[in-house]
């Protein structure tokens, strides 16, 4: 078999997902061993496209056809290695069906995975997603994960600790995302036919009901029976299991905000003064049970699930998801987060502000731009919102942030990325507190910016902050790419006179502000972007900002399909006139401008 036989073009991959929503991939390939994987990786189809590795597709929602390369493992085989009377290692190929693995273990008297019976998907994904149900998570039994490293082209092993497992979470969803392909997973199990994890609600009374200590078979069958009463069978009704995660919020927030709104709201206590709230309960009690939108439905037997009743589109599922999130936010003050991986390569950008540090109009100025009645000549301080892959990211928190957020109708921000510490880019940080009620806002910035903010906004970083102030989960970044919930972000360093500024590239989109110079190595990181937003203060040169000509020179070097100029001052001239004078692929940005990058 040659590598050409492995790679297929324009493939319908609907049957590789469980939602039953039609989806195609530009390229699709499956491999049964590392040799085939390496051959695929050498092809131009693989190298020149965005790559997505899927498992059983039971946790995916494609928002649109995938304009890239989809890979799937067919590495099969289950092998057993008996260490001693109390430990058996079971090694499963990434492509082994999860239910086959659980059945194998139950049949062979190997205890550990029986509570995880009936979960759709494959063994490889169990390590990425840390699947969990009925009191057990995959991490409780994963011993080692064997992966292919796309960077070093070597096979590497991750220990359980190195996988940094969390609730439906692992290192493979964060910094290791996209770098490793899981080849095999090794589980550490106990040779025993009697089940031991019986602490979860419906399993607690099983021994009493049966009149004997439940066997692995008993637990497997009971779990499958419970699942069948609550969860749709993906062969009949499309879904991706739980659509939302159960929110984990500070105990104080639960007590002061959630309970104040509904004293009946259940919770489970967690370490570190946090509590977990069942999202299914919130959705049901917000009156959303059975709520429908174009064929997508809040599954009445388990409100955590969005079901495809037959002809739902991805847009309908996403629309229902947004409706649920907005309703729960309004009623309980909690923002739910999808547990499903939303694959949405479309990037929606909204210019929140396109003005320089003083904004336009400048207070007290009587120039024709400042007096213009054209709304495009009214420029608040520079910042943008980027929505993609189910995430909403804010780049810079300008002093006009409160107004900008209200104007755009933004209900949620998943993370904030800062370009630098100048007041016109961070002055609105306190206004982020609305989005910090149930979480610490993740903020990505350089070390120097973080230091500066710790000094200026010390009240946000105290051990016991005044209730209600914004709180942050600080991520210091340098020149290396980083990941936000699996989304790759490439920082690009530019210079604002002698101050380093971070621009950000997300897929085919890049945002750069306050640049005066950029070196070749950093400019190379912009190659291939379709849409570039870049600062241009005015026509006349400035010591720390690009002029229009300087910005155009960079645009001509990068050659994006389209570019927008931002961080504009009143000296630029009237939008109506200047915009028409620019080359065809270059436009002036303006406040509230919305862009779609495919």
Write the CA distances from 318 to 210, 336, 458, 487, integer angstroms.
43, 13, 39, 18
- Residue 317, phi-psi category: left (phi > 0), alpha (psi -120 to 50), beta (remainder): alpha
* Shortest Å, Cβ 346 to ligand EPU: 25
Nearer to ligand EPU, 163 or 597 (CB): 163
Q: Does 166 bind ligand EPU (CB under 6 A)?
A: no
Stretch that binds ligand EPU, among 302-310, 412-420, 443-451, 587-595 (CB under 6 A): 302-310
Q: Does 246 bind ligand EPU (CB under 6 A)?
A: yes
Q: Confirm if 160 and 144 have CB atoms less than 8 A apart.
A: yes
Nearer to ligand EPU, 329 or 367 (CB): 329
Element (H, E) at 148: strand 142-149
Give burial (CB, 10 Å; 0-12/13-18/19+) of 494: buried
* Shortest Å, Cβ 201 to ligand EPU: 6
- Judged by CB under 6 A, the chain residues 392 through 421 that form the site for ligand EPU are none
* Shortest Å, Cβ 495 to ligand EPU: 45
Closest Cα partner for 536 from 524, 523, 546?
Answer: 546
Nearer to ligand EPU, 301 or 488 (CB): 301
Nearer to ligand EPU, 120 or 560 (CB): 120
Contact pick of 99, 215, 302, 356 for ligand EPU (by CB under 6 A): 302
Q: Confirm if 482 and 489 have CB atoms less than 8 A apart.
A: yes
Exposure string of 393-422, with b = 16+ CB inside 10 Å and e = fewer, is bbbbbbbbbebbbeeeebebbbbbbbbbbb
Q: Confirm if 253 and 230 have CB atoms less than 8 A apart.
A: no
Site string for ligand EPU, 190-229 (x = CB under 6 A): ----------------------------------------
* Shortest Å, Cβ 163 to ligand EPU: 18
Contact pick of 134, 172, 332, 482 for ligand EPU (by CB under 6 A): 134
Stretch that binds ligand EPU, among 19-27, 296-304, 325-333, 531-539 (CB under 6 A): 296-304
Give burial (CB, 10 Å; 0-12/13-18/19+) of 577: exposed
Stretch that binds ligand EPU, among 29-37, 174-182, 254-262, 299-307 (CB under 6 A): 299-307
Secondary structure (DSSP) of 470-502? --EEEEE--SS-EEETTEEEEEEEEEETTEEEE
- Judged by CB under 6 A, the chain residues 323 through 362 that form the site for ligand EPU are 339
Distance CA 262, CA 440 (A): 23
Tokens 């089940």 map to which residue? 195
Stretch that binds ligand EPU, among 67-75, 155-163, 300-308, 399-407 (CB under 6 A): 300-308
Going by the DSSP 8-state scheme, the letter that residue 507 receives in this structure is T
Site string for ligand EPU, 256-295 (x = CB under 6 A): ----------x-----------x-xx--x-----------
Nearer to ligand EPU, 167 or 461 (CB): 167
Stretch that binds ligand EPU, among 68-76, 298-306, 309-317, 319-327 (CB under 6 A): 298-306
The encoded tokens of residue 185 equal 């997973």
Q: Does 303 bind ligand EPU (CB under 6 A)?
A: yes
Nearer to ligand EPU, 284 or 362 (CB): 284
Stretch that binds ligand EPU, among 297-305, 461-469, 486-494, 565-573 (CB under 6 A): 297-305
The encoded tokens of residue 308 equal 């495809």
* Shortest Å, Cβ 223 to ligand EPU: 9
The encoded tokens of residue 95 equal 């492509």
* Shortest Å, Cβ 304 to ligand EPU: 5
Q: Does 121 bind ligand EPU (CB under 6 A)?
A: no
Contact pick of 101, 147, 304, 484 for ligand EPU (by CB under 6 A): 304
Contact pick of 241, 247, 250, 427 for ligand EPU (by CB under 6 A): 241
* Shortest Å, Cβ 447 to ligand EPU: 35
Q: Does 242 bind ligand EPU (CB under 6 A)?
A: yes
* Shortest Å, Cβ 53 to ligand EPU: 19
Write the CA distances from 270 to 96, 251, 275, integer angstroms.
33, 9, 5
In 371-426, the DSSP E strands lie at 383-388, 391-395, 415-417
Going by the DSSP 8-state scheme, the letter that residue 324 receives in this structure is H
Strand, coil or helix: what is 14? helix
Question: Could you give the angle at the alpha carbon of 328 between the alpha carbons of 326 and 330, nearest 5°?
Answer: 70
Nearer to ligand EPU, 46 or 134 (CB): 134
In 327-453, the DSSP E strands lie at 341-343, 347-353, 383-388, 391-395, 415-417, 441-445
Going by the DSSP 8-state scheme, the letter that residue 108 receives in this structure is T
Catalytic residue annotation: 168, 242, 339
Q: Does 113 bind ligand EPU (CB under 6 A)?
A: no
Going by the DSSP 8-state scheme, the letter that residue 382 receives in this structure is P
* Shortest Å, Cβ 226 to ligand EPU: 8
Residue 541: how many other CB atoms lie within 10 Å? 13
Q: What is the dihedral of CA 522, 523, 525, 531, to 10 degrees?
A: 140
* Shortest Å, Cβ 231 to ligand EPU: 6
Stretch that binds ligand EPU, among 241-249, 310-318, 485-493, 564-572 (CB under 6 A): 241-249
Distance CA 98, CA 185 (A): 11
Stretch that binds ligand EPU, among 21-29, 301-309, 539-547, 556-564 (CB under 6 A): 301-309
Nearer to ligand EPU, 166 or 278 (CB): 278
In 280-323, the DSSP E strands lie at 292-293, 296-298, 306-308
* Shortest Å, Cβ 284 to ligand EPU: 4
Nearer to ligand EPU, 134 or 332 (CB): 134
Distance CA 185, CA 177 (A): 17
Nearer to ligand EPU, 341 or 372 (CB): 341
Tokens 């205890």 map to which residue? 111
Nearer to ligand EPU, 133 or 316 (CB): 133
Give how many residues touch ligand EPU by CB under 6 A. Answer: 16
Where on the chain is the footprint of ligand EPU (CB under 6 A)?
Answer: 133-134, 231, 241-242, 245-246, 266, 278, 280-281, 284, 302-304, 339
């Amino acid at each position: 078999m040659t590598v050409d036989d492995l790679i297929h073009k324009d493939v319908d991959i609907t049957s590789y997902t469980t939602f039953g929503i039609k989806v195609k991939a530009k390229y699709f390939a499956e491999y049964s061993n590392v040799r085939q994987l390496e051959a695929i990786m050498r092809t131009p189809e693989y190298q020149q496209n965005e790559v997505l590795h899927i498992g059983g597709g039971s946790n995916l929602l494609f928002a649109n056809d995938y304009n890239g390369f989809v890979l799937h493992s067919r590495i099969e085989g289950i092998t057993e290695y008996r260490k001693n009377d109390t430990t058996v290692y079971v090694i499963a190929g990434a492509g082994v069906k999860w239910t086959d693995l659980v059945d194998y273990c139950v049949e062979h008297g190997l205890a550990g995975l029986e509570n995880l019976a009936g979960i759709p998907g494959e063994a490889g994904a169990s390590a990425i997603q840390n699947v969990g149900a009925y009191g057990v998570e995959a991490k409780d039994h994963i011993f080692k994960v064997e992966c292919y490293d796309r960077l070093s082209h070597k096979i590497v092993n991750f220990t359980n600790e190195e996988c940094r497992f969390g609730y439906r979470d692992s290192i493979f969803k964060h910094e290791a995302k996209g770098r490793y392909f899981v080849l095999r997973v090794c589980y550490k199990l106990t040779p025993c036919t009697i089940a031991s994890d019986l602490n979860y609600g419906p399993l607690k009374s099983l021994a009493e009901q049966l009149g004997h200590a439940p066997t692995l078979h008993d637990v497997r069958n009971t779990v499958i029976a419970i699942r069948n009463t609550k969860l749709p069978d993906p062969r009949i009704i499309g879904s991706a299991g739980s659509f939302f995660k159960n929110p984990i919020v500070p105990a104080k927030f639960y007590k002061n905000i959630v309970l104040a709104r509904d004293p009946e709201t259940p919770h489970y206590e967690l370490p570190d003064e946090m509590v977990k709230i069942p999202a299914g309960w919130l959705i049901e009690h917000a009156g959303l049970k059975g709520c429908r939108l174009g064929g997508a439905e809040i599954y009445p037997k388990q409100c955590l699930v969005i079901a495809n009743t037959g002809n739902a589109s991805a847009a309908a599922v996403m629309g229902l998801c947004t409706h649920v999130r907005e309703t729960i936010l309004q009623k309980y003050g909690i923002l739910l987060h999808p547990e499903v991986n939303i694959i949405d390569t479309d990037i929606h950008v909204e210019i929140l502000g396109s003005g320089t540090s003083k904004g336009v109009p400048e207070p007290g100025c009587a120039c024709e731009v400042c007096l213009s009645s054209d709304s495009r000549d009214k420029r608040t301080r520079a910042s943008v919102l980027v929505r993609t892959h189910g995430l909403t990211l804010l780049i810079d928190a300008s002093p006009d942030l409160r107004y900008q957020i209200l104007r755009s109708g933004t209900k949620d921000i998943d993370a904030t990325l800062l370009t630098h510490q100048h007041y016109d880019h961070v002055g609105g940080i306190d206004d982020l507190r609305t989005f910090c009620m149930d979480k610490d806002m993740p903020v990505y910035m350089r070390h120097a910016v973080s230091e500066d903010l710790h000094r200026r906004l010390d009240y946000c970083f105290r051990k016991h902050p005044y209730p209600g102030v914004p709180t942050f989960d600080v991520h210091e970044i340098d020149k290396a790419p980083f990941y936000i919930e699996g989304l790759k972000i490439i920082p690009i360093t530019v210079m604002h006179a002698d101050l380093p500024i971070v621009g950000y590239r997300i897929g085919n989109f890049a945002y750069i502000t306050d640049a005066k110079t950029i070196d070749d190595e950093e400019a190379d990181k912009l190659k291939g972007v379709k849409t570039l937003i870049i600062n241009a203060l005015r026509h006349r040169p400035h010591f720390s900002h690009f002029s229009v000509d300087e910005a155009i020179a960079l645009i001509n070097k990068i050659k994006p399909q389209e570019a927008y100029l931002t961080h504009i001052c009143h000296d630029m001239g009237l939008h109506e006139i200047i915009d028409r004078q620019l080359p065809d692929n270059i436009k002036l940005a303006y406040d509230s401008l919305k862009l779609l990058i495919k």
